A = this chain, B = another copy of it.
Amino acid sequence: MTDEHSVKGNRLDPWLDNYATRAHGLRASETRSLFAVASRPEVVSLAGGMPNLKDLPLDRLAESTARMIRKDGGRALQYGNGQGLPRLREQIPDVMALEGIDADPEDIIITTGSQQAVDIVAELFIDPGDVILAEGPTYVGSLSIFATYQADVQQIEMDADGVIPDALEEAILRLEREGRRIKLFYCLPNFHNPAGATLSEERRRTVVDICHRHHILIVEDNPYGLLGFDGQTYTALKTLAPDDVVYLGSFSKIFAPGYRVGWAVAPPAVREKMKLASEAAILCPSSVGQYSISMYLEGFDWKHQIEEFRGMYHDRCDAMISALNEYMSMCTWNVPSGGFYVWVGLPDGLDAKDMLPRAVTNLVAYVSGTAFYPGGSAGHDHMRLSFCYPEPVEIHEGIRRLSDVITHDLELIDLFGPSYSRPTEGVSTPAPDQI
């Protein structure tokens, strides 16, 4: 009787030879331990995308939750419907109506955050090697999912008005000539994470038309759409082309992420498959979470709460832009009209990923632009600054500290030449807790 165990795998991981191909692409993403970095009280974190919850009425939420458990506990603590709580699916169209989107409760699937919705869509559509089109840069959490499904993410250039339609169509034509299977265009049209930009109304129509002509399904990821600083909203791609769009919404930014409740609205046949895929993965979303959100939508003035959130984030964004003007004239940035993020361009020769350990040493954190490109293949010259969580006075101090780090790095370049010229294509990104 031989012990085959001892000759397979290695000492660190005896199961190394047993993993699926997709598992070898799993790496710690750059957001992975941002929570850990951000939680050190002495660090000003401009890194995480955590919403600010301190204005939520915790006492009233506590009382209402207790009432809900007394009244509906038997159902709220039980397994639920795989597609989501019917009552909540009837309420979600009221939230979407604020952006002028018309949704049928039957076409809504409730998910464990909209992250799970991205995961399900990728699971349903992506065979290894299939192409996903995405903005460049794009949301790091979706890049992790796309890597899991071994997608080839092709990023399309953006400017201040969002993704550039000509660049989108050129990429599609090139990929079609190469015989590639383009499955999805993953798009964050509103207050983009990380770029802060919003897709112009004119471009929305063009983008939808391009994707329709090439029969490419659009995944419209819209967690920030109700957080325009002046209450402004934009025409949803879903509204322009209901049959061509899987729309993703989330309560994480307009209420609270701890319930992990998001949703998708999909064309009927896709919605049916998404429901089956979600049931396979988790049986059903949390009943307690869904009853809690439903209770909140019914018993609280949630529209007013969103207005308060808008005002608060507007103030914080103003604090960040004002501090950037005061301290960071060596950089470039956009001025967002909503959402959580400013996308900052570094002076020539600086490398956001290289600089991060020095920034943390100087008690300020950000996310390197490399996190928003697959394998860190680009974005060295940018960083994402979040204004959502810290107080305005902390934002000011954080930017001041960051300007010191940049100034110091620029002095080093003057002395020793640029650090920003190494080959980076395909290199994976280390987790921030390695610094």
Contacts and interface: CB of A to CB of B under 8 A. Distances in A.
Interface of A: 1-5, 8-9, 12-16, 18-23, 26-29, 32, 35, 50-51, 53-54, 56, 58-59, 61-63, 65-67, 69-70, 73-82, 112-113, 115-116, 119, 123-127, 130, 141, 144-145, 147-149, 183, 212-215, 217, 243, 252, 256-260, 267, 269-270, 273, 276-277, 279-289, 291-292
A119 B22 CA distance: 14
Given A69-B61, A73-B62, A258 B287 contact: yes
Contact of A273 (B19, B21, B67): B19
B53 A281 contact: no
A18 B81 contact: no
A279 B34 CA distance: 13
B141 A283 contact: yes
Given A61-B69, A61-B73, A258-B288, A270 B15 contact: yes
Nearest to A28: B276
B267 A288 contact: no
21 contacts: A3-B212, A4-B213, A14-B267, A15-B125, A29-B279, A32-B82, A53-B74, A53-B78, A56-B73, A61-B77, A62-B67, A62-B69, A78-B258, A113-B282, A113-B283, A119-B282, A141-B283, A148-B277, A258-B288, A259-B286, A289-B289
A148 B123 contact: yes
B215 A115 contact: no
Contact of A145 (B8, B18, B280, B284): B280
Contacts of A287: 257-258, 260
B273 A260 contact: no
A258 B112 contact: no
A287 B286 CA distance: 11
A285 B273 CA distance: 23
A308 to B, nearest CB: 16
Contacts of A14: 215, 243, 267, 269
A396 to B, nearest CB: 23
A221 B286 CA distance: 20
A16 B269 contact: yes
A384 to B, nearest CB: 16
Contacts of A282: 112-113, 115-116, 119, 260
B213 A1 contact: yes
Given A4-B215, A112-B286, 11 more contacts: A4-B213, A8-B215, A14-B243, A18-B215, A20-B126, A76-B258, A112-B282, A141-B280, A260-B286, A286-B289, A289-B289
B183 A18 contact: yes
A257 B82 CA distance: 13
B74 A65 contact: no
A277 to B, nearest CB: 6
Given A69-B65, A273-B26, A286-B112, A5 B78 contact: no
Contacts of A256: 77-78
A257 B78 contact: yes
A53 B288 CA distance: 14
A283 B32 CA distance: 9
Given A1-B213, A53-B77, A115 B257 contact: no
